Structure 1
């Protein structure tokens, strides 16, 4: 460990300990009579207002991985890395009405997870199990990816080994176990304030030190002109424009299908809170655009990524840029913003994954008569196991492969769209057809991802998410996002199978919801237990 970065380490450590203390104190914040229920431990009592929800969802969606990976992609590929900006703009109008309906029906019936809703809507524990397992599988690597942000900061400070990451996640596990969703909700305030502060200072200060924005863009283009990939540059070209658009759209559709995103929404106290947040959250997109520009600044500043085991880790370019341009004390603040940015989403993701296991696997298949207290106890334990699994991912897997898992995760979670998102607006699909569509979309998506190489990284398979349309027999050099192709297969299979099953008069499951449930608000009665006897 180098003493060259002692000031940064002290500031980083002090702020990290501060928010960790807040995580433990959060158990007393808005404390209910008991935390022994998923409503209280896993959803914060379903009582968060507009401001808390804004920070909670923002802290959940804009993660430490985003903070380092988006500018790292811009650093390596240029304009293609900006796909994250339009997708976080279009997502909120897309989900505005859908999320309100999900909140209402969940409020009436006491749903904690999206699989709870699917179980009641389609009368199928099998389909609910599929949705739950899909959500857990897609979330696990996402939690691991939060460690990438912390690891990038530690590398920039010259800290070797995985012990600091293990310690950080042990602390995270402890206060999440004790405080539940209240911990990340409280910490999100500090996290977001730090990020806004660091980014505003960065975009005002760093370009002035580099000769202005004109020099920044000229230097970046000069670098991309020398790369062997023709599509790299500060502008898109004809080969990657379609993939850019589809990647943005697919990412937008996937964002609020992730269990952790839905957890933040269900913690809101009424429909108006969700409306206000869907209108206000695009403010984060503005900050994300500024974050992406850090990649171009790193090029102009001549930043060279940290090399580990002969491989350049581009995720370190933003921490190294801060170290190169800022005074030591403010670099420590910037590092803390990234590190704390990992704690909020990691906590919410582990809670969401634990709730899926408890409600849709443990209670459905292992202990149907489980009490609320037993549910909460199981979720707390599973949230610890999930964090251990996330740490194992980062310790045992090649970091480059773990980053690629995010691409796979997006393709996977998109396959829940017909059952969850479309299920909120229509009951037309047959439960068996939705299972068949999920299987078809999942198989097609993984098959296409397997066939994508990345010669630059020496990978023959799972080298990215841009699929060549020429491989489908089309005479074009364009590529398209695998997730959208897989989703198209999913919906096509579900539509055809639904028609066939209805023509064959195959029995469908009962719908335990009513249309009025999707319009209910805070003052309407809440029914927590459903008697669902059908199964598939």
Structure 2
């Protein structure tokens, strides 16, 4: 591509502006010094409804949504729309779970989901497994964000790795300096840019291409002619579509960056409001997904790669390049770039918190001070970003969406301990450990068995496993995450039953029922009850009630 000075100038100015904003965020709404993990990694629990809305929205709706999903639809058609039913079911599913997780974390001082597992099941080993899983699942997700930034730069005519390295340094710098406040503040700018670009795209591009009818007709014809997909879902792809939507929904709020953004909220009501309001984002996601069909109708041809393949991530940037004037294309590219920086920052913070609290302090430095925790977490956030860069070299999936989906396969193995553990305490810690081990083993084995026909790599080429690999006589595929989770749950239940029958000692649960309804900010607004005589029964009840 020829260098486009106008696009690059607008893009660079906006990216520099949000980078400066990220550094300035260190002083925004700060109540204590940044040498405290809860202040650096959770924003001091100061975020209200609006800030949480932008932070969680910026955290969940990433460059994956803006670039990778439309690129998948460009190649396979209707099968790429799995993200819409995924979003339709995820918020009701996690409404109760996140509210309870926030309350018990506030009551007990938990910073990570592994902290919760450690207290809930009394198992350091299980908490370690959850922490390692969270860190590993984050690496390919951050890698995807960096790949999308690279695709935008290539579309503007900037080749080579150094521009991505510069963006990486800026990301690392403001994350290290400002912690969670940086992505929270930048997310406001990101959402304004994204909504501006989406509205312009769904109004202007269809008019230029001859209307929605022409877009669907042309896209359907090209998909059929290519033999790679169709606008309607093929029968053999229905099982994979359904399992992919369900698996993505179940895993979305298990990622450390999502729980980190939720735990930074000021009170339970903030979580409730956001879980009720965030589905509004799904409308924008539906329009963003249609960009893949617009690119087909517009005749967009993805840029090539050094090994002779195609860079599918350039589909949407090229569409913007062709359809918009240079200055507005620069704004659109900045929306994609900032949409990658915000989640990458939160992801690195969430993974760093896991390392610091559940590996470093738990096993290496039990007496670490809050200042030492914050310092280690800052350094760990840098290491996580470097690990993400390594992931881009090690993994070669057919579509960039598989970077997120592979990470989702891994994080799903924490569902029994974290997701179900918030609701029930029936599982035995030995059963949860056994389920995690076999679930992870099944995940890696199945992912290893999936080839990439585009690059001719024999392994780790995607997340959809042909059921013929499991001995079934069918051409259907299924999402690896759901298959591995079934293995995990079956093993967890069977081992738990065996441990109960053999009376194997279980870990102590340090949480109480009242902890899951703990709401200090809300209760502070209610009138204090009249003084009552201090008796043993009353004192016991007062001790177990929310403060």
Contact kept in structure 2, 1:394 and 1:402, CA below 8 Å: no
Moved more, 477-486 or 383-392: 383-392
**Does the CA-based 8 Å contact 1:393-1:402 persist in structure 2?**
no
For the pair 1:497 / 2:495, whether they are aligned, the reply is yes
Aligned residue pairs total 523
Give the deviation of 1:227 after TM superposition: 2.5
- Alpha-carbon displacement from aligned partner over 1:61-106 (angstroms, at most 9, x marks no partner): 1111321100000000000111011101210000000110000000
SS at match of 1:428: coil
Contact map agreement 1:404 1:462 (CA 8 A) in 2: no
Q: How high is the TM-score relative to the length of structure 2?
A: 0.93
Gap regions ≥5 residues in structure 2 = 525-547
Equivalent runs, 1:86-235 vs 2, <5 Å: 86-229=85-228, 232-235=229-232
Match of 1:293 among 283, 287, 290: 290
Q: Does residue 1:278 correspond to 2:275, yes or no?
A: yes
1:50 lines up with 2:23 in the alignment: no
Output one character per residue of 1:225-262: Cα deviation in whole Å (capped at 9) or x when no partner: 12334xx1000121011110110010000000000000
CA distance in 1, matches of 2:199, 2:406: 32
Give the equivalent residue in structure 1 for 2:82.
83
**Aligned mate of 1:237, from 209, 234, 238:** 234
CA–CA distance in structure 2, aligned partners of residues 281 and 41 of structure 1: 25
Q: How far did residue 328 of structure 1 move? A: 0.5
SS of corresponding position for 2:461: coil
- Alpha-carbon distance, 1:371 to partner: 1.1
- Could you say which residue in structure 2 is the equivalent of 1:348? 346
What CA distance in whole angstroms lies between the structure 2 residues aligned with 1:366 and 1:192? 40
In structure 1, what is the Cα distance between the partners aligned to 2:451 and 2:24?
Answer: 48
Partner SS state of residue 520, structure 2:
coil
| Whole-Å separation in 2 of the counterparts to 1:193 and 1:100 | 27
Alpha-carbon separation, structure 2, partners of 1:206 and 1:405: 29
The residue number in structure 2 matching 1:533 is: none
Distance apart, 1:522 and its partner CA:
2.7
Instruction: State the match for 1:530 in structure 2.
Output: none
Deviating more after overlay: 219-228 vs 426-435: 219-228
* Aligned residue runs from structure 1 range 458-469, under 5 A: 458-469=456-467
Match of 2:512 in 1: 514
Q: CA RMSD in A?
A: 1.7
Q: Is the 8 A contact 1:467 1:479 kept in 2?
A: yes
> Contact 2:429–2:506 at 8 Å: present in 1 too?
yes
2:248–2:405 CA contact under 8 A, matched in 1: no
Q: Which residue of 2 aligns with 1:531?
A: none
| Distance in 1 between residues matched to 2:33 and 2:453, nearest whole Å | 55
Asked if the contact 1:351/1:379 (under 8 Å) is kept, the reply is: yes
d(CA) in 2 for partners of 1:239, 1:187: 42
- Structure 1, unpaired ranges of 5+: 527-536
Structure-1 residue corresponding to 2:312: 314
Inter-partner Cα distance in structure 2 for 1:430 and 1:385: 34
Q: Indicate the residue corresponding to 2:5 in structure 1.
A: 6
Structure 1 residues 412 and 13: alpha-carbon distance in aligned structure 2, compared to 1, 3 A threshold: same
User: For 2:120 and 2:424, how far apart are their aligned partners in 1?
Assistant: 10
Contact 1:166 1:391 in 2 (8 A): no
CA deviation vs aligned residue, 1:497-535 (integer Å, no higher than 9, x gap): 000011111110000000000001133899xxxxxxxxx
Equivalent pair of 1:469/1:480 in contact (CA under 8 Å): yes
Contact 2:54/2:187 (<8 A) preserved? yes
